[in-house]
Structure 1
Amino acid sequence: MENNWEFFENLQELIFVIDMENHTMAYMNHSARNAFGCPDHKEYQNRKCYEILQGLSTPCPFCTDSVLAMGRFHDWEYTNPLTHVTYILRDTLFELNEKIYRIELAYDKNSRDIEKSERQSFTPDTKKFWDDNITPLSDGSTAFQTFIRNNYFDAEAFFRSVAIPDAPYYLYFGDLQSNLYYISDNMKDDFGFLDNIVYNLIDAWGEKISNEQDRMLYHEDLRHIMEQKKGVHSLRYRITDKNGITTWVHCRGIVKWSGDKNTALFFSGCVSRLDSDFSLDAVTGFLREQSALNDLAARNGTMETTLIVGFGLNHFTYINDSKGRASGDMLLRAISNCLLEKLGSLFTFYRLDGIRFMAVSKQNVSYNENEAVENIRLTIEECYSKQKLSTKQAASFGILHFPDNGDTPQEILENTMTLISIAKLNSDLKYSKFSSDVIAKQKDKSSMALSLSENVEKGCEGFRIVVQPIVSRDTGKIIGGETLLRWRYRGQEISPVVFIPLLEETRMILTVGKWVFGQVVSLCKQILVFQPDFLLSFNVSYLQILDDTFLPFIQQTIAEIGLLQGHLMLELTETHFDEMPIRLQEFVAECLKMGIKFALDDFGNGFSSLQMLFKYPVNVIKLDRTLMNEITHSSENLDFIMSIVYACHRSKKQVCVEGVETDAELEIVRQTDCDMIQGFYFYRPLEVADLLRGLEGDGGILAEGR
């Protein structure tokens, strides 16, 4: 039993724990054993407390006094007949494992009086020096411990003074070794606990967290604290009281560890009700947009510059569509809790709309903008990784300052959301920073998005497809091609890197994607008249794969146009497999049934795995341009690429090398024994009319590099 009380072992006070059922001594700490002649725990075990402490043969008044009660302290002053020492005693009763115990703390009244009398004789300066320096430093005590040791302190009175019934918070503290907690009256009353003393409060409180995702995060956070030996608990979640009313709360606590960090001793903190004071987002627990406006308005005119980090989460449409909205909400909740835990002391976080957020530096806090973005980014990526999601470009960031980058709070919010949109379209930038030119360009992109929408509504007016030919490694003749999408805006060609994300963000890619596939099938049938073995490839967005109507559309289009099987090839990147492996495997399997081949595109760009080559039913591997750069600078890299090509051939997969642009690169690529080559050395993307005209003339298109 002494293992339950070992945290009392080295206290200077005398500690006794007594089993009230039979009045036997359950525990005596080191000081108590020395005072009563029990050098070892075995000396007092199974012996009556009144025999050891009083020298009596029957129970003493301390064991039978009716003033003792559960959870309430009673103070005594008593001269012990065995030691002849006058002790100040504090006693209480509590329940552990369905047994009632009395715990008693005792200290020598005379030694305390001597200490007080000695200090009273000090001069004022000496007394101050003693209070400020000697007492705290002599045993490593904190100021709070020093005050309690040297002054009268009523713990229950103090606790009740801060745990007032109508307070918007609840208080708790507990012994992590005995797993016994004491909770405030309002916590007991509001949540239906039978007593202020609660055994295993962590689990009991967790049962009152009605939302499953919230409850999982709660237990995960506490488990993480114990595993990582952390000292702080900070989490927002929803809790349901005894009347069935669900409330957002912010639970904060401190864990006290032993000196060697091996034993968690004490856990205390408070649970603050949030919805009584703040307008909170129901999913993240972040403050909402109006609160951000109020906060910035309060700072207006203070002459203090406030750092603002706007950020938007990426790939979230895919997450909601493929994994379900509950998984998306769980990820949002995990991100918000991690951000609050790690950066909540420096920033106030707000949810603006959708998956766009804003972090506002707290007043009197100076923070480097690069460091701010990096810390938020790493936190978000950590949460994505735990959900087994790709962390590549998990979030996009914008930086601005108030009041420098907006005259009013409303203008700051508008500029923040604009910067987030800019960052999404410029994924190579660490973050977008405010400038008048940047905002003007974004307004132009907003106009571009409007034009995209108008073009899509008019039957994809302004869009067209082009084809970059793929040639045989041995002969240099065209054997296939990759279909690419083009769009003109105000008389200029717009890069797909710009307009494709806009189509995906607005989900217009679903309509445009079907239009593209229809063009691909129609073109392929025309090409086969001139070149019967031609293979035409096409790309799809992850949103198309998630679209339940796309596969039936593919099947219907092929049937209506009458295209023979074996001449279309679907190109997908490794990222697709990382983010939605099951759905994608099903999609690929259905395409293969329709005679559509499958190419793994951009192999070597990022974190390629050889496992990808053999895990999925791939017909063609397309080696990325980055590998071309590698093999032209190292013979070892060339050997490695040759081994990949060999492995692909052994498993009956063909290899296409992308990005060949020079004679030197062509010479090296031919050493790899690949099957096909695609690059500007041979052809840039061709307009459909030019491709057909060249194929009709027996392949007489002029290659770029010749």
Structure 2
Amino acid sequence: MKELMQFFENYEDVVYITEISTNKVVFLNKAGREALHLTSDDQYLGQKCYKTFYGYDLPCANCTNDFLNENTFYDWSVINERVASTFLVRDTMIVENGVAYRVEIATDLNTLNPSPSQTQIKMNNNERILNNVYDAAYSTNDPIKAIELSIETLGRQFDSDRMYIFEDNPDGTSSNTYEWCREGITPEIHNLQNVSASTMHVWNKHFEKGENIIIYDLEEYKPIDPEMYDTLKPQNIHSLVVGPLTLGNQRFGFYGVDNPPHDAIGNITTMYTLLGKFLASLVRDRDRAKKLRQLSYNDALTGLFNRASLHDYMKALKNQSITFFFFDLNGLKHINDYYGHHEGDLFIIRAANVLKNFFMPDPVFRMGGDEFLSIKIGLTEAEAQDMNEALRKHLVDEDISTAVGMVWKPDNSLPFNIIFKEADYQMYNDKKKYYSSRLHDRRIDRNS
């Protein structure tokens, strides 16, 4: 132990040694003492490491003691707010006279001091990578395409095998939502859906602290996190860097790069926080676009598609048989007049759900008020008639009174308004039958 301390005393990185069972500091080298502004041994020797280095009263939530083994290193990164620095960390365990000690070597990214030429090269390279990924992302107005282009650009710039994004699911699992693979590398995205929280628990502890995870050698990582090792090994991963994706104070996933060259890992890590924020902003833009699309294409009351979305739907249809089912609810005006509009809204919602479930997976559109439209593609005329009869029976069973107009055409070459007008006429005749059967002598109110 004495020789080890002598070796690390003047080491340029921060090095400390603690007794694992007690968390007491037994050694801190000169670089560490200077970083923490400690001037006497009693300020750290025999003191708790979490108190000395972080100012905590309790052990660190991300303490790696339980993951340490002899002759292997646990690689990670940490933000030390006490000294306002980010460190690349390598931890290992040594045993002397039956006592286990933790040895930590921490490289302060804020005080790296390469030669001027190296600094300039690194700055130029980082600037080039950032410019390339920004150019890729903003070359398209499609937010999903922007994410795909960004991770492809980063993956190629980092000379890696794979670049990816995982997003958290409501049930606590995580799923791979975007992936780029180098030519010849097998995609893994379909195998990495709903990854369990137990598999992610070690990584999540670091992500919750805003920390990246660096694995230089997967085999060395095996005893630290066997469950994650079993997930990574079949993917032919030997090294990786992963970091959290956060919007505001909410972490929603992580992103990573597989098998980058070892000499590039340090440079990748220095950019990871900035790149993580950028990728998180692209995901935020995607979600905003999705929400805006939902608001513009979906009816607020029922959640069905609205009239505005019908135009895009019709443009995408291929030239094949088409069947319109047009509905106008019976009795809505009576419900609104006698029971109030709240009850009328509940009636509309219930009818919408019945129609949605019947026609699923085909869309149902709320055309306004109490009118709905569903479009079926590819039916024969006989199949359309059978569906119309089944639909009417289903509506009776569900106690939904509505007039129905059905029109079948062998192709969709006719303009939409022509087919719709015919369906509206058929619906109008059906509504006349409804009122006639109940001996109504008033004129049919098309808004009823």
| TM superposition score category, shorter chain reference | 0.3 to 0.5
Q: TM-score, normalised by structure 1?
A: 0.26
Larger radius of gyration: 1
